[in-house]
Amino acid sequence: MDKLVIEGGYPLQGEITVSGSKNGALPILLSCMLIPEEVTLAGVPELRDIQTTCHLLQLLGCHVERTPEGMTVRAGNGLQHAAPYDLVRTMRASVLCLGPLLARLGRAKVALPGGCAIGSRPVDLHLSSLEKMGARFEISGGDINGRCERLRGAHISFDFPTVGGTENLLMASVLAEGETILENAAREPEIQDLADFLNSCGAKIQGQGTSLIKIQGVSSLHACRYTVLPDRIEAGTYLAAAAITNGSLTIRNCPLWAMDAVIFKLQEMGVNIEAGQDKTRTVVKPGGDIQGIDVTTQPYPGFPTDMQAQFMALMSVAQGAGMIKETIFENRFMHAQELMRLGARIKISGNTAFIRGGQELTGATVMASDLRASASLVLAGLAAGGTTTIRRIYHLDRGYENMEDKLSRVGARIRREKE
Ligand code: EPZ
């Protein structure tokens, strides 16, 4: 296993370019199973979760290849219906196979994703909504076995604006018979991108980005070339990295239109951010002390839960007190204990973290527990005096493309070592 070793205390200086979105590319890649012809996707990031997704597509019978033009996926007509447990357990989002496989084959066998570090993460809303479209599920031997005739359009209202549930239902409905209405749908930019991609392939989706999405089923989809949207969470992480080191960074390929909540909260802390006119570039400049604030995670367009851990690191060094309320996942504070090893003063009460701030952090060895917790520890290490060693950074590699290279190029003293 690899670890990261960081000598903290160096303000970042220079330019970082954001890669394609992990949570955008992943559902778009799986949705290629809806299209028999070869699709070319530009901007697909080089990440472990993307490698896992491509491996899954290959196991399901697709031809997948990374070429100079981008990632090509050809589902053809030889799709298999079973996604194996050994692969699904490494990436819960494999459950997003259900929609495309039921739509194309009328059957799907996907291992029930186990729990994960940040919460139980059930998929009950996925299954109950697909049942309204005519799918029948049986859970046996740890697998979800789904069957259906041709899926029928249905009027679905989600109890919770589930991102994965909305994505699964979007993919299930584009080839269904008749109209599907999704109420209380998730509004995340990655869902808008999935719908825009599918419309480029001939689907008839309206309302993506709002909580009411309408899909008219079509008989088939055709190939297209598409560029995946940039990663708003990676971009937010690097904005926080500039802020925590009181550095000066220009972030290119930044999806500013999808980052209002994060940028407003950084500015509320006193971070000196100038959003570029062209909506793809932003500049952070040294602004002196930052102040602790209150943050509550919400479904988009509220403050994203995927930036919560990074803000906890930021608030650990801010002046004054801060409060973070996590409303999306039930166990997403594991980074707090590790931040405390670096000297952060944090109290957890239920789904709320109270951060005392005003603390000089000092380097130590810490353990990554999940993807965004890892990013939080990197940020804290960049600010801490002395050496911070972060173990189990395979978590980080799931969602950040070449993080240590991108940070080294803007002055961070960070290197990867074998354990
Ligand atoms: C997606 O997860 C993202 N993953 C997560 O990013 C992100 O944190 C999350 O959306 C919220 O924005 C991908 O896109 C691959 P949900 P997902 O369905 O789809 C409950 C990262 O760090 N729920 O909106 O699993 C669930 O338990 C990852 O990049 C049900 O109860 O999110 C959770 O508490 C982490 N039943 C809440 O809803 C269901 O059937 C949010 O889940 C589905 C969800």
CATH, residue 298: 3.65.10.10
| Distance in angstroms (rounded) separating the CA atoms of residues 170 and 213 | 9
Beta-strand runs (E) in 221-313: 225-227, 248-252, 272-275, 281-285, 294-296
Select from 295, 307, 314, 311 the least CA-distant residue to 358: 314
Please indicate, yes or no, whether residues 234 and 207 belong to a single structural domain of this protein.
no
pLDDT at 241: 97
Nearest CA to ligand 1 atom 32: 163
pLDDT at 115: 62
Please indicate, yes or no, whether residues 48 and 74 belong to a single structural domain of this protein.
yes
Nearest CA to ligand 1 atom 27: 121
Please indicate, yes or no, whether residues 59 and 33 belong to a single structural domain of this protein.
yes
Please indicate, yes or no, whether residues 64 and 80 belong to a single structural domain of this protein.
yes
Cα 111 to middle of ligand 1, angstroms: 17
**Residues acting as catalytic residues:** 116
Please indicate, yes or no, whether residues 213 and 252 belong to a single structural domain of this protein.
no
Please indicate, yes or no, whether residues 9 and 26 belong to a single structural domain of this protein.
no
Please indicate, yes or no, whether residues 176 and 240 belong to a single structural domain of this protein.
no
- The DSSP symbol for 257 reads G
- Ligand 1 atom with minimal separation from the 190 CA: 14
- Ligand 1 atom with minimal separation from the 300 CA: 12
Query: What is the CB < 6 Å shell around ligand 1?
Result: 23, 26, 93, 119, 121-126, 160, 162-165, 186, 305-306, 328-329, 371-372, 399
Q: Are strands 70-74 and 38-42 parallel, antiparallel or unpaired?
A: antiparallel
CA atoms within 13 A on the CB side of 368: 29
pLDDT at 207: 98
Token reading at 231: 């990663």
Q: Which of 227, 259, 274 is the last residue of a domain?
A: 227
Cα 328 to middle of ligand 1, angstroms: 8
Please indicate, yes or no, whether residues 172 and 42 belong to a single structural domain of this protein.
yes
Cα 120 to middle of ligand 1, angstroms: 10
Domain around 334: 2-19+230-418
Q: Which of 197, 227, 257 is the last residue of a domain?
A: 227
- Ligand 1 atom with minimal separation from the 167 CA: 19
Nearest CA to ligand 1 atom 37: 328
Q: How far is CA 378 from CA 5, 367, 375, in A?
A: 9, 11, 5
Please indicate, yes or no, whether residues 273 and 185 belong to a single structural domain of this protein.
no
- Ligand 1 atom with minimal separation from the 163 CA: 24
Token reading at 41: 């996707």
Buried b or exposed e, range 315-337, using 16+ CB within 10 angstroms: bbbbeebbbbebebbebbbbbbe
Q: Which of 193, 212, 227 is the last residue of a domain?
A: 227
Please indicate, yes or no, whether residues 8 and 142 belong to a single structural domain of this protein.
no
How many domains does the chain fold into? 2
Cα 302 to middle of ligand 1, angstroms: 14
pLDDT at 280: 82
Identify which of 52, 298, 328, 396 to mutate to test ligand 1's pocket (most ligand atoms within 8 A of the CB).
Answer: 328
pTM attached to this predicted model: 0.97
Token reading at 115: 């729990």
Q: Give every residue of the chain whose pLDDT is below 70, as ranges.
A: 114-115
Cα 329 to middle of ligand 1, angstroms: 8
Cα 288 to middle of ligand 1, angstroms: 35
Nearest CA to ligand 1 atom 8: 306
Please indicate, yes or no, whether residues 345 and 390 belong to a single structural domain of this protein.
yes
Please indicate, yes or no, whether residues 356 and 286 belong to a single structural domain of this protein.
yes
Q: What is the largest CA-CA distance in the chain?
A: 62
Nearest CA to ligand 1 atom 28: 306
